[in-house]
Amino acid sequence: MKIENIPQHSLAFFDEDGGGGARYERPWLLADIGGTNARFGLQTAAGRIDAIWVAECAAYPTLGAAIVQYLSQPATVAAGGYQARQAGIAIANPIDGDAVRMTNHHWSFSIEAICSQFSLTSLHVVNDFAALARAVPFLSAQHRVQVGGGEARERGVIGLVGAGTGLGVSGLVPAGKEWIALDSEGGHSTFAAVSEREIHILQRASERYGHVSAERLVSGPGIRLIYEVLAERAGAAPQAIQGIDTPAIIERGLRGECLVCVETLETFCEMLGTIAGNVAITLGARGGIYIGGGIVPRLGGFLARSGFRARFEHKGRLSGYISQIPTYVITAEYPALIGMSVILAELA
């Protein structure tokens, strides 16, 4: 089902300085491009993003075509979209130079060519989780839910992990009064199995793919892969295994209608706990670990009831250390657009 043409609306967020120097006259064109969905917005004033629009990436042959469609939307036109000369794109991809080719989608583009096509004087493209990290200090308490114990240390390093079409990883490091977001492709680090069940899943995935990254299993497609292995192990018929997709696995698991689906979600949450714990220890994230992406918020209370937090704290001699680090699920809508706005404000 397409998600485009959803009601266009605005969001407001706290913005201490808002940027807005002479070189950065608003509106600013903002985008958050994932492997499945593209989210667009116009920042028309400090702390305000208007004309938010979401579309399926697969519905458009190129990023340029999606931007054209966004700029033609009535709310975008009314907000002055064609006047935008500064833009920022957060994208699920490493950024190195002018050419950008997405890892989990077929879009590829030249930053310079996009600037030329839309008469932009500047276009800043960053990793989507680096943008998400920059949004964290601007999220209020109502835009996050804590899972488990622990207490964040003020100005402590913050870690981020998020599962969607892929697996995003980033960190936020305090530097005086500022924050530095880390560009990371940590989701492609090698997956580490903990339980016998995970070892079995890893073996089957390795047979199919060779190298098995964390993203291969802790993601939307990963949920489907976990289900296939567990269903096969349970003796399900091949035709039954092929007849279910990730959204259905999640829905049936949450409703308790399918034991293998429940086991799949439990396995996913435990794997996510291991990865989040690894990020916490690697970064020394005493400011907390934030869970973003599109999948976990859909799980609701299931994550808290699962083995996620126990697995997060399962770090042997450092279990006492990591048990003091809180974990939060980000519930805010479009946080990467906020982060992209913060980045542009700092450049103004």
Helix runs in 29-140, H state only: 63-71, 74-78, 111-117, 128-135
Q: Identify whether the C-beta of residue 295 lies closer than 8 Å to the C-beta of residue 223.
A: yes
Per-residue pLDDT of the chain (348 residues; tens, 9 = 90+): 223 333 456 676 766 554 444 456 789 999 999 888 999 999 999 889 999 999 999 999 999 999 999 999 999 999 999 999 999 999 988 888 999 999 878 999 999 999 999 999 999 999 999 999 999 998 888 899 999 999 999 999 999 999 999 999 999 999 998 999 998 889 999 999 999 999 999 999 999 999 999 999 999 999 999 999 999 999 887 777 777 899 999 999 999 999 999 999 999 999 999 999 999 999 999 999 999 999 999 999 999 999 999 999 999 999 999 999 999 999 998 999 999 999 999 887
- β-pairing verdict for 158-163 and 289-292: parallel
pLDDT at 261: 96
- The CA-atom distances, in angstroms, between 168 and each of 36, 186, 238 are 14, 7, 31
Buried b (16+ CB within 10 A) or exposed e, 26-54: bbbbbbbbbbbbbbbbbbbebbbbbbbbb
Closest CA to 225 of 210, 240, 242: 242
CB atoms within 10 A of CB 62: 15
CA 161/CA 295 separation, integer angstroms: 12
Contact 104, 166 (CB under 8 A): yes
Sign of the Cα torsion 83, 16, 144, 227 reads: positive
- The pTM of the full predicted model, rounded to 2 decimals, is 0.89
pLDDT at 92: 85
Give the integer Cα–Cα distance in Å for 279 and 158: 10
Binding residues: 31-36
pLDDT reported for residue 15: 61
Name the binding residues for ATP: 31-36
Give pLDDT tens digits for 54-75.
999 999 999 999 999 999 999 9
Domains of the chain, each with CATH number or no CATH: 9-134+338-347 (3.30.420.40), 140-331 (3.40.367.20)
